[in-house]
Amino acid sequence: MSWLPSVIGSVALWTGGALLLAAATVIGPDRLRGLRGDLGRRLWRSRRALAALGVVLVASAVGRSSLHVVSRLWGLQLTGLIYAIEGEFVGRLQATLVAPELTAYFSAIYVYGYAFLLSFPFLAYLALPRTVALRRLLVAYTFNYAIGLAIYTVVFAHGPRNLNVATSLLFTHNPEFTALTSEINKPTNVFPSLHTSLSVTVAAFALLTREEYPRWTPLALWISTSVVIATMYLGIHWLIDVIGGIALALGAVSLSYRIVEPDDEAGDGPGDKTDGDEVAGDA
C-alpha cells in the first residue's frame, strides 16, 4: 500500500493547523476581516503573477521526467567536480551533529516546516490591502522554479547520500517521506537546492516586509535557517548546492523588485476598484 495519500494528508493537516495559528497571531483579526471582503479584488490584481507561477509549476510537473532524461544524456556531469571541490564537508557536518532528536527535528522541518514556510507568506501578503508584496513574492517563486528547472536540465549531479559521503537520514528514519519526495523531485536535482532558494526567498521577504509583520520575521528566519541546515544534515544536498540556492534566491528577489514596481500603488486601498496597480511585466 502506498504511503503517498497518508503523507499528503499528514502534511496538509499539520500545515493547515500551523496556518490557522499563524493567521491568528501574526496576521491578526483586522486584516483577516479586510481580506474576507476584498479577496476577489486582490486575487484579480495578482492574476498575472499567479498565472505565471501556475504555468511554471505545471511545466515542471509535466516535463520533469523528460527533462531528467535530457539532463542524464546531455547534461554536465558534475558530481565528481562537486565532490572534488567540497570533499567530505556534509559527511563531517552530519557526523558532528547527528542525534535522534536532531534527526526528528530536521526531518519535520524539511517536510512540514518547509510546506508552512512557503504557504504562509502567500496568505500574509494577500491579507495586505496593497498587492505589491504578494505579486513580488509570486514572481520570485516563479523565477526560483523556472531558473532551477533550467539548471537541473543542464546540470546532472547526485547528492552526497548517493556517494555514501553522508547517510540519507530523512529516508532511513522516515521512509514514508520517500513516496512524497519521489513525486515532486528527482535524486539528481541537487544543484541548486530549491529547498534552500525558496526558504531564503521567504526569509528575504520577511526582512523586507518586517514593518508589516514584525512577528513573522524572526519565525521565518528560524524556519528558513533550519531548512537550509536540514538539506545538508539529512544528506540530501552538498554545501555547493546550498550556496547556489542562496544565490538563486537573492537573484529572484532582486528581479521581482525590479519587475513589480509600486509606482502606481497610491490607489491600491480596500475601496479602490480600479486595476491601476497592475504592472505589465509582473508575470
Give this prediction's pTM: 0.87
| Buried b or exposed e, range 181-208, using 16+ CB within 10 angstroms | beeebbebbbbbbbbbbbbbbbbbbbee
Which residues are registered as beta bridge partners of 155?
Answer: 76
Residue 234 burial (10 A CB sphere; 0-12, 13-18, 19+): buried
The tens digit of pLDDT for each residue in 239-268 reads 999 999 999 999 999 999 999 987 555 344
Separation of alpha carbons 132 and 126, rounded Å: 10
Element (H, E) at 77: strand 76-77
What pLDDT score was predicted for residue 275? Answer: 40
pLDDT in tens, 30-72: 999 889 889 999 999 999 999 999 999 998 888 777 777 888 8
Evaluate if residue 280 carries a pLDDT over 60.
no
* Tens digit of each residue's pLDDT (9 = 90 or more) over 168-179: 887 777 666 665
Scanning the structure block, which residue is given the C-alpha cell 514596481? Answer: 261
Q: Which of 148, 112, 153 is nearest to 15 (CA)?
A: 112
pLDDT on residue 274: 40
Q: Does the structure show a pLDDT above 70 at 15?
A: yes
Q: What is the mean pLDDT of the chain?
A: 85
Neighbours of 236 (CB within 10 A): 26
C-alpha closest to that of 188 among 226, 161, 228, 169: 161
pLDDT of residue 167: 83
Residue 13 CB neighbour total at 10 angstroms: 11
Please determine, for residue 278, whether its predicted confidence score (pLDDT) is greater than 60.
no
Helix (H) or strand (E) holding 34: helix 29-45
Better pLDDT: 232 or 184: 232
Among 87, 187, 76, 205, residue whose Cα is nearest residue 144: 205
